[in-house]
């Protein structure tokens, strides 16, 4: 193209009018806001939450053993239950206590144990009726609780100010397991393959692992997970470990030595559960009460399957 033609084209171009610029700018803003709302609601992969639980807080999750569509959700004022994979939730009227932790075991599908602030109770009929468990624990402020998968009588409890305890008679008598467990412990997971392994989720010391009856604690994935780990869960059959930290949701297949960050970018995850009968089914809840579910081990999150 000659210089003369180029000058001719340039001289005939007209600037956009203020009205056109205003319309264009408004359209850009609308698109940006829509994109931000979509990202905030959907995490990654376009997965919107299954449901939003409007409770004061979010504490715990547990699948009913043998029933991957039945999930229990614990909060400060009680317990909720979903019978359709997390889409619809109803309150369990018999529980109006702080269900900070939930424990279920494959060998007894109808047994649920809850622990929290001044709470240690158990149901043997899937939550219809409850009884308080008497114990010799030195305190009643239980911030974390778990059951040993292979023994119905074995439980673990972290009591604020006193450390980690273990019971081998169904929660009546407790022995001190570790006074050195961090004060910020918020979750316990127990692995039962070749040897008993205990994992602690803590708010200021990261994720810890123990294999010697509570005597020593090994930090895991500090550079990946960070120091604030809100929840930990393990598949009873495949020993896949999941951890929710300040940096996102992670998965480990080698006892916490290496970690894969999963593609769910919603922030503030505080509860995780994995189904024993369908170990690829993982469910999480964030601080806003938004429920997400994966049916392929956390690779994708799709609320409609």
DSSP states along 191-234: EESSSEEEEEEESSS-EEEE-STTS--EEE-HHHH-S-EEEEEE
Helix (H, G, I), strand (E, B) or coil at 304: coil
Tokens of 281: 């089914």
Q: What is the pLDDT of residue 34?
A: 42
Q: What is the pLDDT of residue 11?
A: 38
Torsion 79-83-89-90 (CA) sign: negative
Tokens of 192: 């039962």
Query: Residues 4-41, buried b or exposed e (16+ Cβ, 10 A)?
Result: eeeeeeeeeeeeeeeeeeeeeeeeeeeeeeeeeeeeee
From first to last of its 305 residues, the chain has per-residue pLDDT tens of 444 444 433 334 455 565 554 555 545 443 443 433 334 443 444 568 999 999 989 999 999 999 999 999 999 999 999 999 999 999 999 888 999 999 999 889 999 999 999 999 999 999 999 999 989 999 989 999 999 887 889 999 999 999 999 999 999 999 999 999 999 999 999 987 767 899 999 999 999 999 998 889 999 999 999 999 999 999 987 889 999 999 999 999 999 999 999 988 788 999 999 999 999 999 999 999 999 999 999 999 975 44
Q: What is the pLDDT of residue 20?
A: 52
Cβ neighbours for 5, distance < 8 A, ≥ 6 positions apart: none
Q: What is the pLDDT of residue 152?
A: 86
Element at 81 (helix H, strand E): strand 78-82
């Amino acid at each position: 193209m000659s210089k003369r033609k180029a000058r001719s084209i340039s001289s005939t171009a007209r600037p956009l009018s203020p009205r056109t610029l205003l319309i264009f700018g408004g359209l850009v803003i609308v698109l940006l806001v829509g994109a931000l709302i979509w990202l905030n609601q959907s995490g990654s992969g376009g997965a919107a939450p299954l449901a939003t639980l409007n409770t004061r807080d979010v504490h715990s999750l547990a699948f009913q053993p043998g029933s991957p569509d039945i999930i229990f959700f614990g909060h400060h004022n009680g317990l909720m239950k979903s019978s359709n994979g997390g889409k619809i939730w109803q309150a369990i009227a018999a529980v109006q206590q702080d269900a900070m932790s939930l424990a279920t075991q494959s060998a007894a599908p109808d047994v649920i144990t809850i622990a929290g602030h001044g709470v240690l109770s158990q149901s043997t009929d899937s939550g219809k009726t409850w009884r308080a468990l008497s114990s010799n624990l030195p305190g009643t402020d239980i911030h974390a609780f778990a059951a040993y998968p292979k023994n119905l009588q074995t439980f673990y409890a972290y009591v604020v100010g006193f450390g980690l305890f273990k019971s081998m008679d169904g929660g009546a008598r407790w022995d001190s397991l570790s006074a050195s467990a961090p004060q910020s412990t918020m979750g316990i997971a127990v692995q039962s393959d070749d040897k008993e392994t205990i994992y602690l989720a803590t708010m200021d010391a990261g994720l810890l692992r123990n294999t010697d009856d509570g005597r020593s604690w090994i930090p895991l994935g500090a550079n990946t997970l960070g120091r604030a780990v809100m929840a930990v869960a393990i598949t009873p059959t495949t020993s896949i470990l999941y951890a929710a930290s300040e940096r996102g949701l992670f998965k480990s297949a080698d006892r916490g030595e290496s970690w894969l960050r999963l593609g769910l970018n919603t922030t503030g995850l505080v509860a995780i559960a994995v189904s024993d009968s369908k170990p690829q089914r993982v469910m999480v809840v964030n601080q806003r009460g938004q429920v997400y579910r994966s049916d392929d081990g956390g690779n994708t999150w799709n609320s409609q399957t």
